[in-house]
Amino acid sequence: MKSEKMLFLTSAEIRSLLSLDECIDAVEQAFRLYGEGKAEPPAVLSVHAANGGFHVKAGLLRLQRSYFAAKVNGNFPTNRTRCGLPTIQGVIVLCDYENGTPLAVMDSREVTSLRTGAATAVAAKHLARRDSRAITICGCGNQGRVQLRAISRVFRLQTVFAHDSSKERAAQFAVEMTSALNVPVNVVTDLTSATRQSDICVTCTPSRIPILQRNDVQPGTFIAAVGADNPEKQELHPNLMAGNKIVCDILEQCAVMGDLHHSLTAATVNRNDVHAELGEIVAGKRPGRESNHEITIFDSTGMALQDVAAAAFLYEKAERSGTGVRLDFAA
């Protein structure tokens, strides 16, 4: 029996095939399908290492074709200073869900970065005030860049504050993003002063202690907590989570590895205090923002269906364009 050749895509090829706007559309569709009950809950497995850790995220989506994807990511925050390697490295394997045929193997870094920013953009559409113009980005690495670009696709930003533990990194971020977005990006050392002036706050750091507390934000703020993707990481203090509108990407996942996890442990909230999963809001089953005064929080731990949606889009576009290398493992 003739086998289907497997596609191999590099980071450069992924960048040429998948725009941020296309990724936002694909990720929003994935959340909608999940919210409508048309996709099974995805799975995650985490393994800790001395300087970081690995996680495997897997799920399936029934699109024009049914796809299964599994992503294996290594996340080592000290890599750049320790050994000159990226923080995140890994691969995504895309398969035909109906018969198990491996269809593609692709670098995971670009996909992870884009789909994480895309999820924040989708959440912001439903949870941030429509008149939002000022944003604080806490964490000025690659993910901070993608987060700012993604939010700028949804809102007409006028003021950007950039905060990072490294002044040099924040300064470089400000120069690059001011040029890229034609919006002034201001480096700040006083995070609280910035967040109190912001309509949107995005935290995308490897922090293991809270960096935002209840008094650090004003009523009406939308917060996207992106960095806590394992049980040891934490960006939001439990007192900020308590009494505010919490929306998870995946409740079960956030309960064991997101900022929700720490609030549950501290007993400042319980699972019933979670307003919704993002998919329920995108699908119209639960309301998003309901007033200009409420503080809304998106606990983003990274849903595998985001990876499936992006990988499927890449595979189909690469097949149409002839991009990438095709390998026959059965030869």
Q: Which CATH code of 3.40.50.720, 3.40.140.10, 3.40.50.1100, 3.40.1190.10 fits the domain covering 127-302? A: 3.40.50.720
pLDDT at 331: 64
Q: In terms of Cα–Cα distance, which of 296, 137, 280, 261 is closest to 211?
A: 137
Spatial neighbors of 184 by CB under 8 A, at least 6 apart, are: 159, 160, 178
Burial bucket for residue 112 (CB in 10 Å: 0-12, 13-18, 19+): buried
- The alpha-carbon radius of gyration of the chain (Å, integer) is 19
291 pLDDT band, cuts 50/70/90, is: very high
More confident residue, 87 or 146: 146
Please give the average per-residue pLDDT across 252-259, as a whole number. 95
- Catalytic site residue from 71, 125, 233, 245: 71
Whether 138 contacts 101, CB under 8 Å = no
Please give the average per-residue pLDDT across 60-77, as a whole number. 94
Please give the average per-residue pLDDT across 31-42, as a whole number. 97
Is the pLDDT score of 125 beyond 90? yes
CATH 3.40.50.720 residue spans of the chain: 127-302
Is the pLDDT score of 2 beyond 60? no
Average pLDDT, the chain: 95
The DSSP secondary structure of 247-294, one letter per residue, reads EESSHHHHHHHSHHHHHHHHTS--GGGEEEEHHHHHTTSS-----SS-
Residue 38 annotated among the catalytic residues of the structure? no
Residue 326, beta-bridge partner list: 7
pLDDT at 230: 84
The rounded distance, in Å, linking the Cα atoms of 9 and 323 is 8
pLDDT at 109: 92
Please give the average per-residue pLDDT across 136-150, as a whole number. 97
329 pLDDT band, cuts 50/70/90, is: confident
Is the pLDDT score of 325 beyond 70? yes
Superfamily, domain 6-112+305-327: ornithine cyclodeaminase, domain 1 (3.30.1780.10)
Residue 106, beta-bridge partner list: 9, 92
Strands 43-49 and 52-62: antiparallel
CATH 3.30.1780.10 residue spans of the chain: 6-112+305-327
Report the alpha-carbon angle 102-320-147, nearest 5.
80
* Cα distances (angstroms) measured from residue 137 to each of 70, 95, 127, 147, 198: 30, 36, 17, 8, 10
More confident residue, 46 or 178: 178
3 pLDDT band, cuts 50/70/90, is: low
